[in-house]
Amino acid sequence: MGVAATFVWLGMVVAISFMEAPLRFRAPGVTVEIGLGIGRLVFRALNAAEVLLGLVVVAAMVGGYPSAALGSSVVALAALTAQLIGVRPLLRRRTAGVLRGAAGRRSHAHLAYVVLETVKAAALLMAGVFLLVG
- Among candidate residues 53, 18, 16, the one with its CA nearest the CA of residue 38: 16
Dump the DSSP string for 52-68.
HHHHHHHHHHTTT--HH
How many structural domains are present in the chain? 1
- Domain range holding 71? 2-133
What is the CB neighbour count within 10 angstroms for residue 113? Answer: 22
Cα separation of 130 and 66, whole Å?
7
Whether residue 64 has pLDDT greater than 80:
no
81-130 residue pLDDT tens: 999 999 999 999 988 888 888 876 778 999 999 999 999 999 999 999 99
Render pLDDT for 51-63 as a digit per residue (tens, 0 to 9): 999 999 988 887 7
Give the containing element (helix H, strand E) for 107: none
Q: What is the pLDDT of residues 8-33, one digit of tens each?
A: 999 999 999 999 998 998 999 999 88
Decide: 43 and 87 in contact? Cβ < 8 Å.
no
Q: What is the pTM of this model?
A: 0.91
Helices (H), the chain: 2-15, 21-24, 32-61, 67-82, 88-99, 108-133
Query: What span, in angstroms and rounded, lies between the C-alpha atoms of 44 and 42?
Result: 6
| pLDDT for the residue 109 | 93
